[in-house]
Amino acid sequence: MIRAKWVVVAVAMAGLVSVPWWGPWTLGHFRFFAVQRVEVDGARYLAPATIVAALALKPGASVWSNRTEMERRVGALAGVRSASVSRHLPYTLVVAVVEVEPVALAEGPAGLVAVDESGRPLPYDPVVVPVDVPVVERADARILAALETVRATDLGLFADIAAARAAAGGAVVLELEAGRLRVATPLDPAVVRAMSAVRRDLAAHGQEWVELDGRFRGWVVVRRSDAARPGQKAAA
């Protein structure tokens, strides 16, 4: 009898996968489909509770509630680039978010503030969650654009940048734990790849350097502490 009961339930649940357009409106009135659990996927910087609150679910809300409206509410949160809501019947909602990636921590009125590539503040508290991005004195568009190019091209290199600052002639200096990179703006992704290749080559040969200069087309100039070799060519 118990086995037969579960077979009936399984068949019923399978049938719900292809309910007609009026199905959600009809099934939403059954307490059996009341939301009991909300799962959040993709949140690294935003608190899951913040995302769940944005759903604005009323007591007894059904998993058949309007998904488009829920996605709109979550997508309107600062720091959310996109959101999607799916159902795991009978009582679970799954909210998947894509967050806006921070590119820097800039000085704000009350301390460091995470900002995106356009300089907009993001609601990520570096005291609460790790925001491992370079520090800048101010949200300068030229610096942020260069950092975003590095982030989109070489995440490993981006992770090694501790700070960034503007320099003379429209250049940007990216400070690493050991050494610095000097680049022209706007920064070409090909230059990022070339500088990364030179950096790896120098490390593989155990050669020290203080600065890699990628401002010259087709060249990455290596400035060394011993000045033994003035430069190294790389395709850019």
Average confidence score pLDDT of the chain? 87
Residue range 216-231: mean pLDDT, rounded = 75
Residue range 47-60: mean pLDDT, rounded = 96
- Pick from 34-43, 107-116, 151-160: least confident: 107-116
pLDDT at 26: 55
- pLDDT-derived band of residue 236, with 50, 70 and 90 as boundaries? very low
Residue range 127-154: mean pLDDT, rounded = 96
Residue range 88-112: mean pLDDT, rounded = 95
The type of residue at 233 is K
* CATH 3.40.50 residue ranges for the chain: 104-233
Q: Does residue 183 have a pLDDT over 70?
A: yes
Q: Does residue 21 have a pLDDT over 80?
A: no
**Which DSSP string corresponds to 193-212?**
HHHHHHHHHHHHTT---SEE
Residue range 106-121: mean pLDDT, rounded = 93
Query: 46-51: long-range contacts at Cβ-Cβ below 8 A with a sequence spacing of 24 or more?
Result: 46/77, 46/79, 46/80, 46/97, 46/99, 46/123, 46/124, 47/128, 50/77, 51/77, 51/80, 51/83, 51/95, 51/97
* CATH 3.10.20.310 residue ranges for the chain: 2-99
Give strand pairing partners of 37: 92
Distance CA 230, CA 209 (A): 11
Right CATH for 104-233 from 3.30.420, 1.25.40, 1.10.1740, 3.40.50: 3.40.50
pLDDT at 7: 40
Q: Does residue 1 have a pLDDT over 80?
A: no
pLDDT at 108: 86
Task: Please give the distance of CA 148 from its chain centroid, rounded to a whole number.
Answer: 11
CATH 3.10.20.310, applies to 2-99: yes
Q: Which of 80, 101, 93, 99 is nearest to 52 (CA)?
A: 93
